[in-house]
Amino acid sequence: MLLQLVTALAALAGAACSLLAEGSGAGAVSGILPFTAGGFIYLGTVSVIPEILRNSGPSQAFLQLLALLAGVAMMLLIAQYE
């Protein structure tokens, strides 16, 4: 429960920092966006991929991996054309 409290406090601190940095301009966003996207990609590769490979057959794992890569590609496209 203590670790969950620490995680929740970190989320609140991150939300407060983003609200404070809102008026800072594109410089703040260009530093925060890659960090956030990297966190999502890291979570996907470290926790989701081993679970996919362990609990499904080769063809199902391949399809799920393609869906994960499609999600990463969509994030790149949104960041590129935003």
Q: How far apart are CA 45 and CA 65, in angstroms?
A: 10
- Distance (Å, rounded) from C-alpha 66 to C-alpha 68? 5
What pTM was computed for the model? 0.48
Q: Distances in Å between the alpha carbon of 38 and those of 3, 23, 33, 48, 72?
A: 22, 23, 8, 15, 10
From first to last of its 82 residues, the chain has per-residue pLDDT tens of 888 888 889 888 887 877 777 666 666 667 777 777 788 778 777 887 787 778 778 888 888 888 888 988 888 888 788 7
